């Protein structure tokens, strides 16, 4: 069974290949009602983790719940050993992700499951590695990883191909998900797709709109978030999410029940039910408060769009992701860019459908994507008294178009080492390099101590050194060193450093 799987912040959506069609897979909740998604949540019930609809039911019974784990996955400080709290227990992030995806796989028809999966365009190597590893541990065979807006570009070409021609052959994909915002400029000749540029905001999504509405409701009730226990605040935000998703351009008021301040004591379940306050919020007030958030996404998209005059090569701006259903989003985009704004009929499912198209060898669709973030290394200089930064890859580096690294982008550097030990700290960043420093969101993705002194090139010698306390010395006539950096088809960077005089080599898959 060939699948496209969009692991979302709020919902996980699966599409499958069916003789040139790409329908969404339906999942039954505990009452037997069908849904075209699985809620991306986990809960602690009777000492074990449950996921999806079972976690929703457990949360209603007062079980501790973990939502929006994808935001933790995308945090710049996340590493393979990161843990997350569910109630009073700590679990490895990778274990939670793999457990959730296993529960999704168990709801699919039996058999082999080959999947193309997605990550936000600006995901760092750790996020990409953990996503791949979680799918593999869950029993999926991952055939490719695609950036989310790039996958939505496939869905646009498949569904809206008539809007593309030799003059207008570019699409701007506006992807507002639960936790992130991405935009990509994609050029299409019908089946061939090339990502020309990307932009994004790693910490802005539908969750922020939910939290904003909850803050407005609390303010109207004369309360603050500190007045509520964790579960009560979580319930209010879920209520706000449901209210946001039910908005239409004609909606004028939002009615919410704000839990009472009694939730500040006692059990986490059931407190304050008799002290709740019903508030009625004008939708116009909500939109006024949300405008700065939506405006940030519009401003981020602008450089990709340019001016949409008659000579523009952009066929349209394609709105995907669950957050794009928020009525203020198409309104503000049309205010800025005019009528060439289209919303997917399946905004939440567009990425999964595009991934299924990518999984279908009969579709003929191809993709040339970009690294979408910069990569570089901090290294010691002046006997450890200062740091130097070297950019290795710019964000526009092309990724290999297939699983083989035969066309992988490789950068090789050679130099004479000037110190006895090198301390390499590898980072990825979303901005540019200014004043010799990386800008934008910065994610450390690995580090390596490399001994240039042959006396330290023995088993265990480097492992016994503490990078925080090691003393770096200058040494004359250092060895000839070669650094080799490779980007694979999944956008994960690996590094190999070699002492060419002695043959000593160390390698690192960044993110792993």
Give CA–CA dist 152/147, Å, rounded. Answer: 9
| Of the listed ranges 264-278, 466-480, 484-498, the one predicted with least confidence | 264-278
Last residue of a domain, one of 290, 316, 338: 290
- Is 134 a residue whose pLDDT tops 80? yes
Q: Taking residues 424-437, what's their average pLDDT?
A: 90
Kindly state whether residues 68 and 148 are assigned to the same domain: yes
DSSP 8-state secondary structure symbol assigned to residue 273 = G
For 216, the token pair is 């407005």
Give CA–CA dist 19/508, Å, rounded. Answer: 41
For 413, the token pair is 């550097």
> What are the backbone dihedrals phi and psi of residue 104, each rounded to the nearest 5 degrees, phi first?
-65, -45
For residues 253 and 266, the model is more confident at 253
Kindly state whether residues 354 and 455 are assigned to the same domain: no
Give CA–CA dist 134/117, Å, rounded. Answer: 11
For 476, the token pair is 């004359």
Q: Taking residues 107-123, what's their average pLDDT?
A: 94
DSSP letter for each residue of 156-206: HHHHHGGG--SS--EEEEEEE-SS-EEEEEEEESSSEEEEEEEEEETT-SH
Could you tell me the strand order of the sheet in which 386-393 lies?
386-393, 374-381, 421-429, 442-451
- Is 253 a residue whose pLDDT tops 60? yes
- Is 264 a residue whose pLDDT tops 70? no
Percent of the chain with pLDDT over 70: 95
Kindly state whether residues 468 and 332 are assigned to the same domain: no
For all residues of the chain together, what is the average pLDDT?
90
Tracing tokens 């050679």 back to the chain, one arrives at 414
Neighbours of 500 (CB within 10 A): 12
Q: Taking residues 217-233, what's their average pLDDT?
A: 89
Q: At what angle do helices 148-160 and 350-359 cross, to 10 degrees?
A: 80
Kindly state whether residues 81 and 200 are assigned to the same domain: yes
Kindly state whether residues 418 and 432 are assigned to the same domain: yes
Q: Domain range spanning residue 211?
A: 206-290
Instruction: Please state the pTM of the whole predicted model.
Output: 0.89
Q: How many domains does the chain have?
A: 3
CA angle 180, 183, 186 (to 5 degrees): 145
Give CA–CA dist 351/176, Å, rounded. Answer: 11
- pLDDT number for residue 403: 54
Last residue of a domain, one of 331, 349, 368: 368
DSSP 8-state secondary structure symbol assigned to residue 286 = H
Neighbouring-strand partners of residue 145: 117
Do 124 and 443 form a contact (C-beta atoms < 8 A)?
A: yes
- Is 389 a residue whose pLDDT tops 90? yes
Kindly state whether residues 418 and 317 are assigned to the same domain: no
- Is 184 a residue whose pLDDT tops 80? yes
Element (DSSP H or E) covering residue 239: helix 230-245
DSSP letter for each residue of 57-95: HHHHTT--EE--HHHHHT-TT--TT-EEEETTEEEEHHH
Of the candidates 502, 394, 486, the residue with the CA atom closest to the CA atom of residue 450 = 502
Of the candidates 133, 152, 137, the residue with the CA atom closest to the CA atom of residue 4 = 152
Kindly state whether residues 118 and 242 are assigned to the same domain: no
- pLDDT number for residue 406: 56
Kindly state whether residues 44 and 191 are assigned to the same domain: yes
Last residue of a domain, one of 335, 368, 401: 368
**Beta-strand (E) ranges in 241-372?**
253-258, 277-282, 314-320, 341-343, 366-368
Do 474 and 458 form a contact (C-beta atoms < 8 A)?
A: no
Q: Taking residues 82-99, what's their average pLDDT?
A: 95
- pLDDT number for residue 271: 45
CA angle 26, 28, 32 (to 5 degrees): 140
Kindly state whether residues 175 and 263 are assigned to the same domain: no
For 507, the token pair is 């390698």
Tracing tokens 């506006």 back to the chain, one arrives at 174
CATH code, 409: 2.60.34
R_g of the chain computed on alpha carbons? 25
Element (DSSP H or E) covering residue 345: none
Do 463 and 448 form a contact (C-beta atoms < 8 A)?
A: no
Element (DSSP H or E) covering residue 303: helix 283-305
Per 3-state DSSP, what percentage of the chain is helix, strand, and coil (rounded to 5)? 30, 35, 35
Would you place residue 385 in the very low, low, confident or very high pLDDT band (cuts 50, 70, 90)? Answer: low
CATH code, 243: 3.90.640
User: 210: which residues sit within 8 A by CB, 6+ positions away?
Assistant: 237, 238, 240, 241, 244
- pLDDT number for residue 114: 97
Pairing mode of beta strands 493-499, 505-509? antiparallel
- Is 464 a residue whose pLDDT tops 90? no
For 281, the token pair is 């919020």
Kindly state whether residues 64 and 197 are assigned to the same domain: yes
Do 268 and 230 form a contact (C-beta atoms < 8 A)?
A: yes
- Is 324 a residue whose pLDDT tops 80? yes
- pLDDT number for residue 227: 85
| Of the listed ranges 263-267, 406-410, 442-446, the one predicted with least confidence | 263-267
Would you place residue 510 in the very low, low, confident or very high pLDDT band (cuts 50, 70, 90)? Answer: confident
Kindly state whether residues 327 and 425 are assigned to the same domain: no
Would you place residue 266 in the very low, low, confident or very high pLDDT band (cuts 50, 70, 90)? Answer: very low
Element (DSSP H or E) covering residue 143: strand 141-147
Would you place residue 141 in the very low, low, confident or very high pLDDT band (cuts 50, 70, 90)? Answer: very high
Would you place residue 418 in the very low, low, confident or very high pLDDT band (cuts 50, 70, 90)? Answer: confident
Tracing tokens 């790409």 back to the chain, one arrives at 22
DSSP 8-state secondary structure symbol assigned to residue 24 = B
Kindly state whether residues 429 and 316 are assigned to the same domain: no
Would you place residue 484 in the very low, low, confident or very high pLDDT band (cuts 50, 70, 90)? Answer: very high
Write the pLDDT tens digit of every residue in 37-63.
999 999 999 999 999 999 999 998 989
CATH code, 31: 3.30.420.40
Do 383 and 419 form a contact (C-beta atoms < 8 A)?
A: yes
**Beta-strand (E) ranges in 275-331?**
277-282, 314-320
């Amino acid at each position: 069974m060939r699948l496209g799987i969009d692991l979302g912040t709020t919902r996980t959506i699966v599409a499958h290949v069916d003789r040139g069609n790409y329908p969404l897979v339906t999942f039954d909740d505990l009452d037997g009602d069908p849904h075209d998604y699985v809620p991306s949540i986990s809960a602690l019930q009777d000492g074990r983790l449950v996921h999806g609809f079972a976690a929703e039911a457990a949360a209603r019974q007062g079980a501790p719940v973990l939502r929006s784990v994808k935001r933790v996955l995308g945090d710049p400080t996340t590493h393979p050993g990161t843990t997350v709290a569910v109630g009073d227990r700590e679990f490895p992030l990778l274990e939670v992700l793999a457990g959730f995806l296993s529960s999704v796989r168990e709801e699919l028809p039996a058999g082999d499951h080959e999947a193309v999966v997605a990550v936000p365009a600006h995901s760092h190597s750790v996020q990409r590695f953990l996503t791949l590893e979680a799918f593999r541990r869950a029993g999926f065979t991952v055939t490719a990883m695609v950036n989310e807006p790039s996958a939505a570009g496939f869905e646009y070409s498949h569904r809206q191909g008539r809007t593309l021609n030799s003059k207008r052959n570019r699409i701007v994909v506006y992807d507002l998900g639960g936790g992130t915002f991405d935009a990509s400029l994609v050029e299409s000749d019908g089946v061939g797709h090339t990502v020309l540029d990307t932009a994004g905001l790693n910490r802005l999504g539908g969750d922020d709109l939910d939290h904003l509405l909850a803050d407005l409701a609390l303010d109207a009730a004369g309360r603050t978030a500190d007045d509520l226990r964790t579960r009560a605040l979580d319930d209010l935000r879920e209520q706000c999410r449901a209210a946001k998703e039910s908005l239409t351009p004609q909606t004028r008021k939002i009615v919410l029940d704000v839990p009472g301040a009694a939730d500040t004591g006692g059990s986490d379940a059931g407190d304050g039910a008799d002290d709740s306050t019903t508030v009625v919020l004008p939708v116009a007030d909500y939109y006024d408060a949300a405008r700065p958030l939506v405006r940030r996404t519009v401003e981020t998209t602008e450089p990709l769009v340019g001016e949409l005059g008659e000579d523009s090569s952009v066929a349209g701006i394609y709105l995907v992701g669950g957050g794009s259903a928020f009525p203020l989003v198409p309104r503000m985009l049309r205010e800025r860019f005019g009528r060439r704004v289209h919303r997917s009929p399946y905004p939440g499912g567009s990425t999964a459908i595009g991934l299924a198209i990518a999984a279908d060898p009969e579709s003929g669709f191809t993709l040339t994507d970009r690294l979408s973030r910069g990569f570089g290394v901090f290294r010691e200089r002046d006997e450890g008294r200062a740091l130097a930064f070297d950019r290795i890859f710019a964000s526009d580096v092309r990724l290999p178009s297939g699983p083989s690294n035969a066309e992988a982008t490789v950068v090789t550097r050679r130099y004479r080492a000037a110190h006895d030990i090198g301390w390499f700290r590898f980072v990825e960043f979303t901005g540019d390099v200014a004043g010799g420093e990386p800008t934008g969101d910065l994610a450390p993705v690995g580090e390596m101590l490399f001994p240039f002194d042959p006396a330290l090139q023995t088993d265990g010698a480097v492992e016994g050194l503490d990078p925080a306390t090691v003393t770096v010395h200058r040494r004359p006539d250092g060895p000839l060193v070669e650094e080799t950096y490779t980007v694979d088809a999944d956008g994960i960077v690996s590094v190999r450093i070699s002492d060419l005089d002695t043959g000593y080599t160390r390698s690192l898959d960044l993110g792993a």
